Structure 1
């Protein structure tokens, strides 16, 4: 299953918006630059004569500085305070430019506050192009000092990162695909044990509640008997889910991880992709042995609430928490899957934001954190590719 597009999305405003529903496959949109098409004329054609260009058109080619909105506070600043603000501004900007390795433009030929505005715009434009997870830069004021704070954030792109276990179950029971299955089993064990991805048969998981809800619906339908195809699909999801959790939770799969990679011989594109996924996961396992997917997430994306009361977690939750869109689940086909996705969409429509890994960096003269979201980026990529190979296997 390729990671599913759904209705979750990053929203820069607190207003709740209706989001898109999940689709069965991920989509990628390519933009085609059509500039230049149809511009090749007959070389023998006589050039069309035009009237001379009016001098008034030159006005349209003139670039003007944007007029900044002035307020009473800015007008009331003394020259001493303006000088202090400029010093703090460019000191913080210099530290931020050095950290992100970007060029710094100081517009000394411009007066306050245009020199600050254009210098900030130039740096912001560079960081946006260079830093994959760049989200925002804000200018903070604390006491008499001002400094920049940058926000880096994983953009999960309205995606459900759900890993199906039924395809892996089928692979393990196929003599031809058993080696490949064992390789991917080690990947799943790493995601389960180390990264701490939720599993849908765990009572504390979000998806466990959804599967339980479907079972209650079926039990309340008096017209359905025990041989109903819907009840059989749900029972299959439970039985295989319990069996596969025993397999995936076995830490021996991590002990055999490297050996399985080194001894694996791919014989086709599918096996090559599986090997690449395993190699990338093993690299994370070695470089980030104790890191979890939750290491840079905060309740309601508020860093000030890092230590929250878990007893009141559900009551305080105002964004889509990460364990709701990242999880192991049963399968990506059938009536059960369709109803799970519909239910997820309906609930996610009630939210306007999503909990994603975030890091903040403060440029106030102190040492800047070297933290990055490389680990989280790699985890999301592995899950996406893993779900895709399971989807491809199911379609064989």
Structure 2
């Protein structure tokens, strides 16, 4: 399949910590073993069971051990600790009210450990959510506050939606009704902002142009038969792309989505799978009529000039084909050559700052968590459709 995994070279750094060395006490013994005095024969009878020398209560098993405070930039004692502590606890109160968290009492531990402890507890309460919320202590304009970062991880997948399979379905009299249903799906994907490779602003448009120049400007580098076959693929990608883009831009497709869904009667497994996928996209359209795939794409704090980041509009796009022909392989190799030089991927992200007041919005990543698995299903279907 064309939407294969791409290398994920993001750094995996662990938090720094200190190591302490303890010395065992020189008095007493921990365990009574089955030792034998030198020169004596061991007892062949049953060994005595091992047990502690002293009676120890097991109540500690029910206790809770608090984390150690490790030195960090965030917990260095500032010059005005009372003001900073007040800012942190105000921000913490806003966060707890926003997420409905009831924090444990920590202020009596003293600053800055009480802040570090509170962050540790809040992180534990939020880490089980589906988006892996991360809690951070920030400083800005000499003021301390807490932020939460939610990210939907798309993995290392190329979400490239092939259009030539749709073209073939629409041109096949026996499968035309199947193509017309998928036409509504494609219209919705264009509606939510997925780039089309024929658009000059598209990342893949540049890839196709490079391949075309390399192919057509040096025909002598190819065998005659190979050259004509490869040039035919490149021109088909242009012609079919322009035709499909016009077919899926008409607003009436979204208006008639439900009507086509209701009129579609599957007759074989291929059509049943087509109907299942289209039905899920229609439910997404009904729940998120104004959704946008890039609504949360700029929330990671990454500069747009950063050339070491794989941007969302680079790994999400319509593409000509994905069934392993010469042109598809060239596009894939060119894209992966670029991505191999990158160290991180942009993912849908929501950052909330709890500074003076709590955020009023209740935005979520629910749209993305439904969209991306559906895109994978659609791409697989289009790649395997007969």
Aligned match of 1:391: 383
Q: Per-residue CA shift, 1:142-183, capped at 9, x if unaligned?
A: 456432111122312111110011111222233343222211
Aligned match of 2:162: 164
Aligned match of 2:371: 379
For residue 71 of structure 2, the aligned residue among 69, 72, 75 is 69
- TM-score normalised to structure 1 length: 0.75
Q: Per-residue CA shift, 1:106-156, capped at 9, x if unaligned?
A: 2356444333323211211221211x2335321123456432111122312
Aligned match of 1:309: none
Alpha-carbon distance in structure 2 between the residues aligned to 1:5 and 1:55: 57
1:24-35 to 2 correspondences below 5 Å: none
Alpha-carbon distance in structure 1 between the residues aligned to 2:263 and 2:232: 38
Q: Does 2:306 correspond to 1:319? A: no
User: Relative contact order, CA 8 A, sep 6+: which one is greater?
Assistant: 1
Alpha-carbon distance in structure 2 between the residues aligned to 1:248 and 1:152: 33
Q: Does 2:243 correspond to 1:243? A: yes
Aligned match of 1:353: 344
Q: 1:75 to 1:376 in 2, by over 3 A?
A: closer
Aligned match of 1:225: 224
Aligned match of 1:197: 194
SS across alignment from 1:228:
helix
Q: Does 2:100 correspond to 1:101? A: yes
Q: Per-residue CA shift, 1:14-70, capped at 9, x if unaligned?
A: xxxxxxxxxxxxxxxxxxxxxxxxxxxxxxxxxx967414559x8xx9967424328
Q: 1:171 to 1:75 in 2, by over 3 A?
A: closer
Root mean square deviation, CA, Å? 3.3
> Contact conserved, 2:184 with 2:257, CA < 8 A, in 1?
yes
Aligned match of 1:122: 121
1:144-293 to 2 correspondences below 5 Å: 145-192=143-190, 194-219=191-216, 220-222=218-220, 223-225=222-224, 228-267=228-267, 270-293=270-293
Q: 1:49 to 1:209 in 2, by over 3 A?
A: farther
> Contact conserved, 1:89 with 1:146, CA < 8 A, in 2?
yes
Alpha-carbon distance in structure 1 between the residues aligned to 2:78 and 2:255: 68
Q: 1:65 to 1:256 in 2, by over 3 A?
A: closer
> Contact conserved, 2:75 with 2:112, CA < 8 A, in 1?
no
> Contact conserved, 2:348 with 2:365, CA < 8 A, in 1?
yes
> Contact conserved, 1:258 with 1:282, CA < 8 A, in 2?
yes
SS across alignment from 1:218:
helix
SS across alignment from 2:351:
strand
Q: 1:257 to 1:143 in 2, by over 3 A?
A: same
- Structure number with bigger Rg: 2
For residue 140 of structure 1, the aligned residue among 116, 138, 141 is 138
- TM-score normalised to structure 2 length: 0.76
Alpha-carbon distance in structure 1 between the residues aligned to 2:343 and 2:350: 20
Alpha-carbon distance in structure 2 between the residues aligned to 1:196 and 1:98: 35
